């Protein structure tokens, strides 16, 4: 739930609660007013009664029935009022109400005392003998009885019950229609208006926050490279002079730090690539001279038998220098492929046909090593059976990648193995695989296989140890990435290895034409 | 016939000395200079049969020397040596008129093979030019017509433009209809390269020839693939 909605809901709920409280207060106050009015009326009435008759108790004792009639006569003009005579313990002795009471019905004395003693009480709630479960406003006055020896003593109470609770229905209607409804309407209108206003204010206040959120979201979508390239200050909304402005500034600072670190990182990466590239370049001339020297010596001593041992030394030196040269070359190539400016020269080609052609290059070496190198018929050729899948690729780099994979397979596979090349269309991709039934790669090594400088398997022939140790597969991976594809390897120890390059297929029939003319 | 004369222009003394030593022992008449201007001066004095140029040299670099020589109308074959291995460099060098390229570090055997191939190719070219001096011969294969002397191609009556290498490749195919060539053989015959690693160029060029000539390049009718062997031009229908 958005902060906006939360705030709006909170304000709405508060308004509604206020409205309910107001109504409740009104009802309560009305009730209280009724009670007070009744109490005051009852108090006046009862005071008049006790001040006019000081022999009430005697009257009761003389003739209970006559007394009861007299009591009734007293409240004849007092609506909703019942009068009782209680003895000192609160037991009802006489009553005016029509409902027959159980003999010995008693009311609580505490309200009685309160009504007598607390002259300033607004009203007192006590028992209603007719409905002992519900309370009622009561007024009580002590009734004295003359003593034989003169004077008098408190002998009981006159107990007045005022039925304010049972307001007549029409009074409630009056209350509802003339007070509660207009009040409620007004309150609801105020609540609605307040909520609307609050929503407006919240929207206005949180707008910068939304703008900031949008800007930051856009930045993260476009990614560091592009987003951070935006000139400082222009990516985010202009900071205002409030808390949101501070937040914007804070973000701007954060962005600036990111930007600087990103640039530093890019610079470092650039220097690293440059360094590797320069190193590779600078090493070429001395290596060329060394190789040329060794080759010259080798050629000179080729004929002489007594130089056989020297030639052996030269051969070792030559082989190692050439390995070093290949490594230097691979390093330089990888640095080249890593450059952000490096771009492919892609064309639509028959991947199956190309695999055939690449296989031809390795045919002699495979035959020498006793390894069968074959291209699956599914690979196809342009003129025999089905055409192979057409892929959009940089022929040089693709050939380089496949050559590296074949080279690797030949390096690790013993005599009698088979290396199989295949290309197949898979949706809008072309999967090119180089599979062998050689020794396989332990599964623990698989994830690291395409890392630079990683080599798990001991080569079959250590004497022909490769240059570019571990770089071959890194180059394959980089080439796949440059094509917007990927490379995957599956291998079982003892069963063989299968490397699959996934590359974009050439969609449409006329693509080679467009590209070649361009 | 006197031995072919070769000029080596290389600023690094060790490499220069080694090149001279080995080319001499291969029987060539070798002279050597250490920078671009001297190379040009030496060529003005006496034109060599072949130049081995280092790409990176003080004064004038290999490309500038090539440009200057070609501007003077010299078609002396040039073998460029470079420490830069990017393809861009390769293409630049070939377009500017170098005939072949060697990336350092190279092997001497490779260098000697390239030198030999370039010299032989120049000889063949001279012989062909002498032979073609008369009436222009026309190669025909169905609706494909090639005028080698004018380097013109018409297909189904329409003239079609080709780059120099595309034309050479097409001409090679058309001169041997029905004959299957591997990419390596084509590389050697058309480009004059003798070593592994440039075969992709052949693929790219065959791709382009098909795009320009075939009505459906996916199902070619003129330049055919022979699986596992190479490519051929269809036999002349006549």
Residues A122-159: tens digit of each pLDDT: 888 888 888 877 788 889 888 887 777 777 778 888 89
Residue A396, chain B, CB below 8 Å: the answer is yes
What is chain B's length?
238
Q: Give the A window 30-69 contacts with B, CB below 8 Å.
A: none
- The answer to whether A338 and A273 are in contact (CB under 8 A) is yes
What is the C-alpha to C-alpha distance for residues A456 and A444, in angstroms, rounded to an integer? Answer: 10
**B226 contacts A347? CB cut-off 8 A:** no
- The answer to whether A81 and A162 are in contact (CB under 8 A) is yes
- The model's confidence at residue A513, banded by pLDDT at 50, 70 and 90, is very low
> Which residues of chain A neighbour B226 with C-beta distances below 8 Å?
381, 383-384
* Mean pLDDT along residues A490-495: 89
Tokens 């591997």 -> residue: B182
Residue A17, chain B, CB below 8 Å: the answer is no
Residue A507, chain B, CB below 8 Å: the answer is no
- The answer to whether B231 and B225 are in contact (CB under 8 A) is yes
**A356 contacts B200? CB cut-off 8 A:** no
* Mean pLDDT along residues B47-53: 92
Domains of chain B: residue spans and CATH: 5-130 (3.40.50.2300), 139-233 (1.10.10.10)
- Which among A325, A360, A395 has the least Cβ separation from residue B228? A360
Tokens 């190719």 -> residue: B121
Of B14, B178, B217, which to mutate for an interface test with A (greatest number of A Cβ within 10 Å)?
B217
Give one DSSP letter per residue of A372-395, joined into a string.
EEEE-GGG--SSSSSPPPEEEE-H
- Which among A292, A328, A350 has the least Cβ separation from residue B18? A292
- Which among B15, B199, B208 has the least Cβ separation from residue A516? B208
* Mean pLDDT along residues A223-251: 66
CA-based nearest distance B36→chain A, Å: 18
Q: Give the residue from chain A lying closest to B87, CA to CA.
A: A396
Class (C level, CATH) for A3-171: alpha beta
Q: What's residue A462's pLDDT?
A: 40
Mean residue pLDDT of chain A comes to 80
Residue A359, chain B, CB below 8 Å: the answer is yes
Look at residue B122 and tell me whether its pLDDT is greater than 50.
yes
> What tokens appear for A341 in the block?
């400016």
A65-117 per-position pLDDT tens digit: 888 888 888 888 877 888 888 888 888 888 887 788 888 888 888 888 888 88
**CATH code for the domain defined by A244-334:** 1.10.287
> What tokens appear for A337 in the block?
């492929």
> What tokens appear for B85 in the block?
């291995």
Look at residue B230 and tell me whether its pLDDT is greater than 60.
yes
- Which among B201, B216, B225 has the least Cβ separation from residue A353? B225
Tokens 């052949």 -> residue: B202
Mean residue pLDDT of chain B comes to 83
CA-based nearest distance B196→chain A, Å: 8
Q: Over the Cα atoms of chain A, what is R_g?
A: 53
- Which among A285, A292, A348 has the least Cβ separation from residue B83? A285
A454-473 per-position pLDDT tens digit: 554 444 434 334 444 468 88
Of A273, A288, A290, A420, which to mutate for an interface test with B (greatest number of B Cβ within 10 Å)?
A288
Q: Give the residue from chain B lying closest to A379, CA to CA.
A: B227
Q: What's residue A223's pLDDT?
A: 66
> Which residues of chain A neighbour B18 with C-beta distances below 8 Å?
289, 292-293, 296
- The model's confidence at residue A510, banded by pLDDT at 50, 70 and 90, is very low
> Which residues of chain B neighbour A349 with C-beta distances below 8 Å?
203, 207
- Determine what percent of chain A is predicted with pLDDT higher than 70: 84
CA-based nearest distance A371→chain B, Å: 16
> Which residues of chain B neighbour A513 with C-beta distances below 8 Å?
211-212, 217
Of A335, A355, A382, which to mutate for an interface test with B (greatest number of B Cβ within 10 Å)?
A382
- Structural domain A343-517, CATH architecture: 2-Layer Sandwich (3.30)
Of A292, A375, A395, A400, which to mutate for an interface test with B (greatest number of B Cβ within 10 Å)?
A292
Tokens 């003693």 -> residue: A117
What is the C-alpha to C-alpha distance for residues A136 and A221, in angstroms, rounded to an integer? Answer: 72
> Which residues of chain A neighbour B211 with C-beta distances below 8 Å?
512-513, 515-517
Residue A343, chain B, CB below 8 Å: the answer is no
pTM over 0.80: no
> Which residues of chain A neighbour B80 with C-beta distances below 8 Å?
none
Count H helices, E strands: chain A?
12, 12
In chain A, domain spans: 3-171, 244-334, 343-517
**Highest averaged pLDDT of the listed ranges A161-175, A209-223, B41-55:** B41-55
- Residues 6+ away with beta carbon under 8 Å from A82: A75, A95, A96, A97, A128, A129, A130, A160, A161, A163
**B18 contacts A382? CB cut-off 8 A:** no
Residue A296, chain B, CB below 8 Å: the answer is yes
Query: Can you give A188-219 as a three-state secondary structure string?
Result: HHHHHHHHHHHHHHHHHHHHHHHHHHHHHHHH
- The answer to whether B24 and B30 are in contact (CB under 8 A) is yes
**What are the Cα distances from residue B233, in Å, to A25, A104, A411, B148?**
105, 133, 36, 17
Chain A with chain B: Cβ pairs closer than 8 A: 134
Q: What's residue B232's pLDDT?
A: 92
A25-37 per-position pLDDT tens digit: 887 888 888 888 8
> Which residues of chain B neighbour A386 with C-beta distances below 8 Å?
none
Note the ipTM here. 0.72
- Which among B84, B105, B108 has the least Cβ separation from residue A325? B105
Q: Give the residue from chain B lying closest to A351, CA to CA.
A: B203
Q: What's residue A468's pLDDT?
A: 40
Look at residue A405 and tell me whether its pLDDT is greater than 90.
yes
- The model's confidence at residue A222, banded by pLDDT at 50, 70 and 90, is confident
- Which among A289, A296, A356 has the least Cβ separation from residue B22? A296
Segment B218-225 long-range contacts (CB within 8 Å, at least 24 positions apart): B218/A350, B218/A382, B218/A387, B218/A390, B218/A509, B218/A512, B219/A382, B219/A387, B220/A382, B220/A383, B222/B141, B222/B142, B222/B144, B223/B173, B224/A382, B224/A383, B225/A350, B225/A353, B225/A356, B225/A381, B225/A382, B225/A383, B225/A384
What is the C-alpha to C-alpha distance for residues A358 and A344, in angstroms, rounded to an integer? Answer: 20
What is the C-alpha to C-alpha distance for residues A474 and A306, in angstroms, rounded to an integer? Answer: 45
CA-based nearest distance A333→chain B, Å: 8
Beta bridge partners, A158, equal A85, A141
Same fold, A244-334 and A343-517: no
Number of Cβ within 10 Å of residue A169's Cβ equals 8
What is the C-alpha to C-alpha distance for residues A22 and A13, in angstroms, rounded to an integer? Answer: 14
CA-based nearest distance A405→chain B, Å: 15
A105-128 per-position pLDDT tens digit: 888 888 888 888 887 888 888 888
């Amino acid at each position: 739930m958005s902060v906006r909605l939360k705030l709006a809901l909170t304000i709405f709920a508060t308004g509604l609660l206020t409205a309910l409280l107001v109504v409740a207060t009104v009802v309560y106050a009305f009730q209280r007013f009724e009670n007070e009015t009744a109490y005051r009326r009852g108090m006046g009435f009862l005071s008049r009664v006790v001040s006019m008759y000081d022999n009430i108790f005697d009257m009761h004792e003389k003739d209970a029935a006559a007394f009861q009639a007299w009591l009734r006569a007293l409240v004849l003009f007092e609506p909703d009022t019942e009068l009782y005579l209680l003895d000192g313990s609160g037991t009802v002795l006489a009553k005016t109400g029509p409902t027959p009471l159980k003999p010995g019905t008693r009311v609580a004395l505490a309200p009685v005392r309160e009504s007598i003693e607390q002259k300033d009480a607004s009203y007192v709630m006590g028992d209603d003998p007719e409905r002992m479960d519900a309370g009622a406003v009561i007024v009580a006055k002590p009734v004295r009885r003359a003593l034989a020896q003169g004077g008098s003593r408190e002998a009981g109470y006159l107990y007045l019950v005022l039925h304010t609770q049972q307001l007549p229905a029409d009074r409630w209607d009056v209350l509802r229609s003339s007070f509660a409804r207009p009040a409620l309407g007004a309150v609801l209108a105020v609540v609605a208006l307040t909520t609307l206003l609050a929503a407006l204010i919240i929207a206005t206040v949180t707008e910068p926050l939304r703008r900031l959120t949008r800007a930051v979201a856009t930045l993260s979508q476009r990614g560091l490279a592009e987003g951070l390239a935006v000139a400082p200050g222009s990516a985010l909304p202009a900071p205002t002079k409030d808390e949101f402005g501070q937040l914007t500034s804070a973000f701007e600072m954060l962005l600036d730090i990111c930007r600087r670190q990103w640039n530093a990182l890019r610079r470092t990466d650039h220097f690293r690539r440059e360094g590797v590239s320069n190193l590779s370049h600078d090493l070429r001339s001395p290596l060329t001279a060394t190789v040329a020297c060794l080759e010259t010596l080798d050629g000179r001593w080729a004929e002489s038998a007594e130089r056989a041992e020297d030639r052996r030394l030269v051969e070792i030196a030559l082989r190692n220098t050439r390995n070093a040269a290949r490594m230097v070359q691979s390093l330089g190539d990888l640095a080249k492929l890593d450059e952000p400016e490096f771009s492919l020269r892609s064309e639509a080609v028959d991947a199956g046909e190309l695999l055939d052609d690449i296989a031809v290059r390795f045919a002699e070496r495979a035959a020498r090593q006793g390894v069968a190198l074959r291209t699956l018929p599914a690979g196809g050729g342009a003129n025999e059976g089905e055409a192979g899948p057409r892929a959009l690729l940089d022929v040089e780099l693709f050939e380089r990648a496949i050559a590296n994979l074949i080279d690797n397979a030949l390096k690790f596979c013993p005599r009698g193995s088979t290396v199989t090349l295949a290309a197949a269309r898979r949706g809008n991709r072309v999967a090119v695989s180089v599979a062998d039934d050689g020794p396989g790669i332990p599964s623990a090594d698989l994830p690291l296989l395409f890392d630079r400088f990683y080599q798990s398997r001991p080569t079959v022939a250590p004497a022909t140890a490769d240059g570019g140790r571990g770089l071959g597969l890194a180059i394959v991976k980089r080439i796949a990435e440059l094509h917007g594809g990927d490379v995957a390897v599956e291998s079982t120890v003892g069963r063989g290895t299968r490397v699959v390059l996934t590359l974009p297929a050439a969609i449409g029939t006329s693509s080679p034409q467009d590209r070649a003319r361009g | 016939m006197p031995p072919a004369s070769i000029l080596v222009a290389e600023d690094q003394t060790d490499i220069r000395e080694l090149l001279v030593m080995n080319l001499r022992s291969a029987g060539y008449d070798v002279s050597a200079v250490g920078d671009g201007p001297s190379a040009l001066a030496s060529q003005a004095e006496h034109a060599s049969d072949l130049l081995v140029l280092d790409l990176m040299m003080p004064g004038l670099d290999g490309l500038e020397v090539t440009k200057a020589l070609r501007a003077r109308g010299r078609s002396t074959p040039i073998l460029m040596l470079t420490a830069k291995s990017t393809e861009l460099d390769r293409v630049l060098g070939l377009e500017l008129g170098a005939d072949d390229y060697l990336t350092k570090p190279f092997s001497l055997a490779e260098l000697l093979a390239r030198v030999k191939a370039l010299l032989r190719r120049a000889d063949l070219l001279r012989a062909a030019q002498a032979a073609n001096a008369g009436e222009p011969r026309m190669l025909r294969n169905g609706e494909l017509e090639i005028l080698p002397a004018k380097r013109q191609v018409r297909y189904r009556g329409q003239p079609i433009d080709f780059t120099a290498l595309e034309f050479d490749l097409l001409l090679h195919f058309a001169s041997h209809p029905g004959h299957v060539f591997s990419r390596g053989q084509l590389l050697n015959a058309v480009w004059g390269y003798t070593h592994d690693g440039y075969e992709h160029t052949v693929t790219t060029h065959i791709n382009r020839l098909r795009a320009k000539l075939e009505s459906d390049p996916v199902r070619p009718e003129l330049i055919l693939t022979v699986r596992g062997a190479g490519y051929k031009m269809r036999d002349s229908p006549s």
